[in-house]
């Protein structure tokens, strides 16, 4: 009798002796994968170790993209920040850097994201509310005043206007005397998830894809340290998708972007090493770890087998993760510190490359400096007090985790195959199929929460009886932000060379119409202090504006 047969026999005997006739409640992971009560070597007998698991830093990178992972370099701790005016944001960034944060992550307000200037009456209530307002190059100069761009890396949460904000960052570097080939960071720049989950899209999908390809092409030649896109599963997860859908939609979007760049005659290994990804860290600890491991394995196979990548770096799924705000509660908000810690732990055990911990007060307002600092401290305690970074992929080899990783991979592949059968990700978005699937999943999840089948401690179970919440010191919007921002914009417009501005905007329109790479023209317009809104309006003349399916 083989050792595996002995395990099977012993397991059966254990079930009869210890579990007996008493029924064991059925359990599923958060994404609906059926879970056994216990896992043994029999559950991983069909998983080829070298083919499916392997070693960190080796294909298919299931165990991590670098050989020594956190022994060599810790994950990058990036607390997402950006608030009110450029001056306030600059002050907060300097505070975070002084607290030990090695890189920056910029949050922009909705007008900036959607291509409006702060003096536009349509958006005056939103100026500086969920991020920093950026109208012209001067705002970007203030944000990074006294912060040498060759000594940090910066992540930009910006999508439809990513090319414009990148142009501003390049111009700031040049003004600081920093060669653009020395600046690095990450542009989110994932427009497809805007149609799916966020809604800040400006242009129709196809010209939006053209802008992304322009950025990838330009940075390949001029800004080689910039991660040109962070393909997002995070936002669709926060919108209601489960973990399987999160990865499936993210990787399917990545396929669209790769195919778009390949059309330009650029080889996969010329740009894929600078692709990155962003996922959510949820509280279902083991499922999240398995999700990250499965995502790395699947992307490695897609890059190699579908696109013919030869460079191992093209096959590495490097990812930023944020702890899920949607699992936080407004009731008993201090409990969110515990949730954030568990979510962050899932990211670290899953091999995250960069991490943000959501502020415990985010259900109420933009996080305060204190809550942002506590988010950073959670990461630092995990990094320096737990011993977790001493071993790569410490959960690797767990019968449960390896079996769950395989199961997640199979379910994600099924979802991606269905997207392919339906015409591909872009076609599914244009038909509204993915949007409907996310809404349906969000509805079903909320129904389960309402019924108490998913527990939210302090909200739908174990609610405190005091009838009041703790007094929180919340970040308050400064009513003077709009006035300050509009006054600065007026001063910039009064001081700039208007003929030069119009000339550079004309060049932007020419380049857009001719199908040229838009970055050189946008950089010149930025340097002339053309506004974000002016450049977007110019592009709208060529690209048009996005309209929802069925809208007038």
Cα 308 vs. chain centroid, distance in angstroms? 26
Structure tokens at 548: 């929802």
Rounded Cα gap, residues 533 and 326, in angstroms:
32
Are 176 and 208 contacting, i.e. CB atoms less than 8 angstroms apart? no
Position 475 scores a pLDDT of 57
Using alpha carbons, list the distances in angstroms from residue 471 to 255, 332, 460: 47, 10, 21
461 found inside a domain: no
H or E element at residue 483: helix 481-495
Total domain count, the chain = 1
Across 180-233, where does the E strand assignment appear? 184-187, 226-227, 229-232
204 found inside a domain: yes
Position 476 scores a pLDDT of 59
497 found inside a domain: no
State the residue range of the domain holding 273.
Answer: 49-450
Contacts of 420 (CB under 8 A, 6+ apart): 252
Are 356 and 321 contacting, i.e. CB atoms less than 8 angstroms apart? yes
SS3 content of the chain, % helix, strand, coil (to 5): 55, 10, 40
213 found inside a domain: yes
Rg of the chain taking only CA atoms, in angstroms? 24
Enter the DSSP assignment of 394. Answer: T
Establish whether the linkage from the previous residue to 60 is cis, with ω within 30° of 0: yes
Position 18 scores a pLDDT of 85
Rounded Cα gap, residues 38 and 24, in angstroms:
11
552 residues of the chain, pLDDT tens digit each: 788 889 989 988 888 888 877 788 889 999 999 999 999 999 999 999 999 999 999 999 999 999 999 998 899 887 665 667 899 899 988 888 888 777 788 989 999 999 999 999 988 888 988 889 999 999 999 999 999 999 999 989 999 999 999 999 999 999 999 999 999 999 999 999 999 988 899 999 999 999 999 999 999 999 999 999 999 999 999 999 999 999 999 999 999 999 999 999 999 999 999 999 999 999 999 999 999 999 999 999 999 999 999 999 999 999 999 999 999 998 888 999 999 999 999 999 999 999 999 988 877 766 777 888 899 899 999 999 999 999 999 999 999 999 999 999 999 999 999 999 999 999 999 899 999 999 999 999 989 888 888 888 888 888 877 645 666 665 555 668 889 999 999 999 999 999 999 999 999 999 999 999 999 999 999 999 999 999 999 999 999 998 775 544
537 found inside a domain: no
Structure tokens at 377: 């401290």
Position 21 scores a pLDDT of 75
CATH classification at residue 247 = 3.20.20.240
29 found inside a domain: no
Residue 94: count of CB within 10 angstroms of its CB: 13
Position 552 scores a pLDDT of 40
Residue with tokens 């398995």: 290
Position 133 scores a pLDDT of 93
Rounded Cα gap, residues 528 and 137, in angstroms:
9
Structure tokens at 356: 């943000």
543 found inside a domain: no
257 found inside a domain: yes
Sheet holding 104-107, edge to edge: 80-81, 104-107, 153-157, 184-187, 226-227
Q: Which residues, in sequence order, are bridge partners of residue 279? A: 321
């Amino acid at each position: 009798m083989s050792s595996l047969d002995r395990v099977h026999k012993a397991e059966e005997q254990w079930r009869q002796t210890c579990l007996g006739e008493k029924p064991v409640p059925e359990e599923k992971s958060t994404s609906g994968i059926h879970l056994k009560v216990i896992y043994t070597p029999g559950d991983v007998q069909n998983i080829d170790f070298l083919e499916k698991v392997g070693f960190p830093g080796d294909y298919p990178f299931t165990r991590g993209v670098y050989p020594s992972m956190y022994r060599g370099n810790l994950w990058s701790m990036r607390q997402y920040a950006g608030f009110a005016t450029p001056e306030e944001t600059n002050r907060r960034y300097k505070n975070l850097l002084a607290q030990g944060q090695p890189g920056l992550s910029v949050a922009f307000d909705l007008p900036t994201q959607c291509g409006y200037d702060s003096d536009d009456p349509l958006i005056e209530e939103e100026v500086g509310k969920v991020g920093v307002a950026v109208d012209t190059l001067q705002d970007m100069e203030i944000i990074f005043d006294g912060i040498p761009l060759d000594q940090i890396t910066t992540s930009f949460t910006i999508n439809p206007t990513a090319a414009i904000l990148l142009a501003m960052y390049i111009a700031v570097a040049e003004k600081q005397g920093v060669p653009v080939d020395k600046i690095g960071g990450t542009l989110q720049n994932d427009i497809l998830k805007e149609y799916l989950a966020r809604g800040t899209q400006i242009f129709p999908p196809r010209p939006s894809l053209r802008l992304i390809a322009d950025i990838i092409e330009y940075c390949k030649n001029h800004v080689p340290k910039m991660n040109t896109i962070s393909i997002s599963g995070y936002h669709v997860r926060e919108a209601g998708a489960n973990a399987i859908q999160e990865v499936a939609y993210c990787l399917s979007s990545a396929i669209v972007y790769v195919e778009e760049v390949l059309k330009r005659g650029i080889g996969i290994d010329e740009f894929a090493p600078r692709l990155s990804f962003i996922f959510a860290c949820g509280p279902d600890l083991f499922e999240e770890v398995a999700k990250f491991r499965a995502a790395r394995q699947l992307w490695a196979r897609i890059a190699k087998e579908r696109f013919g990548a030869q460079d191992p770096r093209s096959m590495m799924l490097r990812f930023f993760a944020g702890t899920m705000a949607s699992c936080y509660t407004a009731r008993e908000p201090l409990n969110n510190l515990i949730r954030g810690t568990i979510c962050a732990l899932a990211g670290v055990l899953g091999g995250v490359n960069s991490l943000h911990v959501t502020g415990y007060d985010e259900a109420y307002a933009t996080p305060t400096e204190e809550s942002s600092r506590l988010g950073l401290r959670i990461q630092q305690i995990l990094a320096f007090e737990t011993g977790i970074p001493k071993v790569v992929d410490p959960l690797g080899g767990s019968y449960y985790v390896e079996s769950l990783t395989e199961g997640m991979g199979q379910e994600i592949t099924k979802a991606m195959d269905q997207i392919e059968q339906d015409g591909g990700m872009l076609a599914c978005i244009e038909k509204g199929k993915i949007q409907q699937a996310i809404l349906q999943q969000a509805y079903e999840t909320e129904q389960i929460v309402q019924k108490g089948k998913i527990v939210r401690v302090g909200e739908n179970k174990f609610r405190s009886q005091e009838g009041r919440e703790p007094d929180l010191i919340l970040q308050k919007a400064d009513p003077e932000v709009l006035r300050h921002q509009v006054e600065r914009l007026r001063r910039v417009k009064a001081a700039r060379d208007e003929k030069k501005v119009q000339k550079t905007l004309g060049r932007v329109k020419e380049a857009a119409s001719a199908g040229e790479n838009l970055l050189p023209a946008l950089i010149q317009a930025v340097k002339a202090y053309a506004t974000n809104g002016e450049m977007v309006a110019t592009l709208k003349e060529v690209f048009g504006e996005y309209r929802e399916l069925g809208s007038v």
